[in-house]
Amino acid sequence: MSNNRRQSFLTFISIAVIIAIVIAVILWFKPSDNKDKATEILSSSQNNAAENSQIDKPQLTSSTGVATNQGNTSFKTGLENLPRSLQGTDVDGEIIIDENKQLVVTQGLRRLFDYFLSALGEEEEAVIFARVESYIRHHTPEPAASQAVAIFGKYVAYLKALPEIEKRYGNLQLQATKSGELDLNAVAQQQQDVAKLRQQYFAKDTISAFFGTEDDYDDYSVEMVRINQNKQTSEAQKEAARQDYISRLPDSVTKANIVQQANLGELMDRTEQMKARGATPEALYNMRRELVGAPAAKRLAQVDQEDASFDQRFTQYQTQKQRLLSQSADQAQAQIQVNQLEQQLFDDAERKRLSGYASLQETKTQ
């Protein structure tokens, strides 16, 4: 089951190293949701026509107004007998209405749908549909309640249809990224197909609310890839192109996050370069403060100190470990001493890092 948080054409970018770096950071800022899990299971369940009919043509409301399903499970608030993955969690998302009790579609409504859909696999589709409908009707007056339920049905149908598009372009992107580049023409065509699919199910305002922010990040990511793949430009020209693109973005939370991401990229590059030149802690702090502010610069300085301390203790540990293992005739007793040395030099969290850190150091020396 996929753990990615977005069903977008950028799934396949991760194969190319440079593309992976772009997308990894973008996803760090992206609003999170559980749609990937929902999409995958909804797609696989299409082979069961009986279950699908409960989603496409739900008969889920009894004469008393309490939603029901085939399993004779009933809900009043939608929060009864939550599946294990949702127990102890707060319901994510929101239902907003205007002064006339009309539904105001927001990204929070999509998050609400994704929250319940994340339990697919633990609960059947019909049960989840009944749960969501009950939750909406319990918390929302008419006509907004019925409007939200209708959009949820369309959202489920959209999630079922989306994997077919991704499958269609998946092999093309896989072939392209094997050469280290993304096929941007295929990306553009996939974007168009996804846009057409959305238009089949949603009104313009719903498309904007549900997918607008996601599309902004996607457009930015693709443009960064386009700039990186341009072999006719120098690194300085590429950086100028990136900055120009960001400067022309409309002011929004999305732009603020993208600017921060760009600063982080520059921060990592400049930190690596300055450390290689033997920069002082003061010089590193001043550079970081300029890029990400004083609080973050202080935290990074603390991380530097912790890393330096760990490196020093790791060197001491490796030296003493090799001496114990090489000089002792009793290897079992030597290993006991090594374990004691680990406990003396490292805390529990640090000891978990030792084997991986040792492998990393060996790789660097090869």
Half-sphere exposure of 332 (CA within 13 A, CB side): 0
Q: Does position 154 have pLDDT exceeding 50, yes or no?
A: yes
Q: What percent of the chain has pLDDT over 70?
A: 76
Q: Does position 349 have pLDDT exceeding 70, yes or no?
A: yes
- pLDDT at residue number 366: 57
DSSP 74: B
pLDDT-wise least confident of 64-73, 114-123, 126-135, 296-305: 64-73
Instruction: At 192, give phi and psi (nearest 5°).
Output: -65, -40
Return the exposure string of 231-254: e unless at least 16 CB atoms fall within 10 Å of the residue's CB, then b. eeeeeeeebebbeebbeeeeeeeb
Mean pLDDT across the chain? 78
- pLDDT at residue number 202: 97
Is there a contact between 69 and 127 (Cβ–Cβ < 8 Å)? Answer: yes
- pLDDT at residue number 365: 61
Q: Which among 12-16, 19-23, 241-245 has the top mean pLDDT?
A: 241-245
3-state SS, residue 97 = strand
Q: What is the pLDDT of residues 167-193, one digit of tens each?
A: 888 766 665 555 567 788 888 899 999
Cα distance between residue 71 and residue 129, in whole Å: 12
Is the peptide bond between 143 and the residue preceding it cis, with omega within 30 degrees of 0? yes
| Of 306 and 106, the one with more pLDDT | 106
Q: Does position 68 have pLDDT exceeding 90, yes or no?
A: no
- pLDDT at residue number 363: 64
Q: What is the pLDDT of residues 75-123, one digit of tens each?
A: 999 999 999 999 999 999 999 999 999 999 999 999 999 999 999 999 9
pLDDT-wise least confident of 9-23, 79-93, 130-144: 9-23
Cα distance between residue 301 and residue 307, in whole Å: 10
Cα distance between residue 141 and residue 101, in whole Å: 7
- pLDDT at residue number 67: 38
Q: What is the pLDDT of residues 161-171, one digit of tens each?
A: 999 998 888 76
Indicate yes or no: pTM above 0.75.
no
Q: Which among 11-15, 45-49, 197-201, 332-336 has the top mean pLDDT?
A: 197-201
Confidence of residue 331 (pLDDT cuts 50, 70, 90): confident
Q: Are strands 96-97 and 103-104 parallel, antiparallel or unpaired?
A: antiparallel
- pLDDT at residue number 78: 93
| Of 349 and 345, the one with more pLDDT | 345
DSSP per-residue codes, 23-34: HHHHHHHSPP-S
Cα distance between residue 137 and residue 100, in whole Å: 16
- pLDDT at residue number 177: 55
Q: What is the pLDDT of residues 202-254, one digit of tens each?
A: 999 999 999 998 898 888 888 888 888 888 999 889 888 988 888 888 887 78
Q: Does position 16 have pLDDT exceeding 70, yes or no?
A: no
Q: Does position 130 have pLDDT exceeding 70, yes or no?
A: yes
- pLDDT at residue number 185: 84
DSSP 104: E
Q: Does position 361 have pLDDT exceeding 60, yes or no?
A: yes
